[in-house]
Chain A
């Protein structure tokens, strides 16, 4: 099946190139991203198009595709001609080389901070007034608390949630066994597992399901902005995980389309002061420390662990926790025995 898709995708790339050459006055870029960056890239694209025109006089048009991170990676693998990918996990970008070399293996060293221009973290969203007194991870496994989190098998965001809980339990209780026990109890408090971060947010906010939503910080702020802060509040736990959604140029596609220069500039500009402010306004944590400190009310400091230091990188994480028959599977097997 992929072989046919590859051939089809080549045809698509050729057609796409033909079309973009035809309209030589306007270069098109496609940014394939994940779900909660809709608002961020809408604002950033405008800024970058303006910046690029001032610099080079070239008119750009930028298209964005959003969806679950894993699904988006699969679309690119199957031939979606993305110039740049801005996904939720490094693991999803690594997966691009699954069937053919789409991207330089060293992509993560190409830009500062492991190619991560912004970070986020995992926080709790609770009902106004915090009726169940949820202040830290331990409160999630108290009697009668229902936790809403998506399914780590289908959602990149849910994997961050899982790992954040694990990191807390391991630092608090010491061993991997106790961490697994804690996470297992946490999932016993989950009445449903949605397929994506957005649908989990909808379950919590609109269906009024559960007492606490484990959410990305930016997703939590967006939910708050939508509700006007009248029904919900954000709780920052003592320890969480440093979510590093990375960005990369898809070498195979930009070489075929001749858009390498523009695609690289598009990602490089994310590190500029203007972009870092846009990032902060869209509730992602900018990596520029001075700009981050300007938004310190929005981003209270907390202890953050990283995937590389705490878990030994995404490939390790995937293998140990989320692959077939790995820890996540065995947790649910255990729960249902």
Chain B
């Protein structure tokens, strides 16, 4: 690996300057300039305005609702996703390809359609909702459910290639040396898949915070109860309060950024620890 990188004269794509220039222009137009404008725009809100917005009870409740439901769904999906990825990679069975393709469906389906479908199914008179004694739609449980649906592919798709790459020999060696299945999992498999697992978790978490379309139908949108953060942005926009809306958007961006940063740091630590062990 390092031998190839150090050989500076050999490049797969010719014209480093050209490709870098293209990359920078593209990322500027598509990502950096819009985000920069968002930042610029939020500066129109005065400092007292920011403080008032950030300390308002409605914002704090929406924030904590968004955080807890995304965290719950990301945690749940980490385990369900691991299970899915494992089964899909390690076992051959009838319908495997079909299930594998279904995993990607939430990516393709417009989230609003998913939201309406979930609401219809889990409402009190819905085909599934009627079997439950407690309310699912229009509660935080419903929100978590919608997020579970939307974020499932993130975990499965990041874990699949890593599990496929796991060398079987290591597991066999472990069991020959007398390790129980649990020990094999904790000491051999888990360290190898942990970085990818964390990435999947983070992607799911970050996506959950920003998800709007699928949640807004099932949430019920009662202020101080089931109002998510993205809905708050939309209500601000509908009142022509562009500044406040962009300020909340900035908050969400910063949260996502910090989240990704922390995960990157953890991953780097992990990778260093793992290479040392090997």
- Which A residues are closer than 8 A to B by beta carbons? 1-2, 4, 68, 70-71, 74, 95, 98, 151, 153-154, 190-195, 199, 206-209, 322-324, 329, 332-333, 335-336
Contacts and interface: CB of A to CB of B under 8 A. Distances in A.
8 closest Cβ contacts across the A-B interface? A192-B220, A336-B224, A153-B235, A70-B238, A332-B223, A1-B37, A1-B41, A193-B221
A199 B241 CA distance: 23
A190 B222 contact: yes
B58 A329 contact: yes
A74 B225 contact: no
A283 to B, nearest CB: 25
A153 B240 CA distance: 11
B150 interface: no
B154 interface: no
A32 to B, nearest CB: 16
Given A1-B40, A1-B41, A191-B220, A95 B240 contact: yes
Interface string B106-137: 00000000000001100111100000000001
B246 interface: yes
B222 A209 contact: no
A322 B236 CA distance: 11
B234 interface: yes
23 contacts: A1-B37, A1-B41, A1-B242, A2-B242, A4-B37, A70-B237, A151-B221, A153-B238, A153-B239, A154-B235, A193-B222, A195-B221, A195-B231, A195-B234, A199-B217, A206-B120, A207-B137, A324-B241, A324-B244, A332-B58, A332-B224, A336-B223, A336-B225
B240 A74 contact: yes
Contacts of A74: 237-238, 240
B89 interface: no
B216 interface: yes
A154 B216 CA distance: 12
A121 to B, nearest CB: 23
B224 A335 contact: yes
B96 interface: no
Interface residues of B, number: 34
A27 B59 CA distance: 47
A95 B240 CA distance: 8
A247 to B, nearest CB: 20
A4 to B, nearest CB: 6
Contacts of B217: 199
The residue among A98, A151, A329 with the most chain B CB atoms within 10 A of its own CB is A151
Contacts of A329: 58, 223
A208 B224 CA distance: 24
B124 A324 contact: no
Contacts of A336: 223-225
Contact of A209 (B58, B124, B240): B124
Contacts of A208: 123-125
Nearest to A333: B57
A207 B123 contact: yes
Contacts of A333: 57-58, 224
A3 to B, nearest CB: 9
A104 B246 CA distance: 29
Contacts of B220: 191-193
B201 interface: no
Given A95-B240, A192-B222, A333-B224, 4 more contacts: A4-B37, A74-B240, A199-B217, A332-B222
B205 interface: no
A195 B137 CA distance: 16
Interface in B1-56: 37-38, 40-41
A153 B246 CA distance: 17
Contact of A207 (B125, B221, B226): B125
Contacts of A153: 235, 238-239
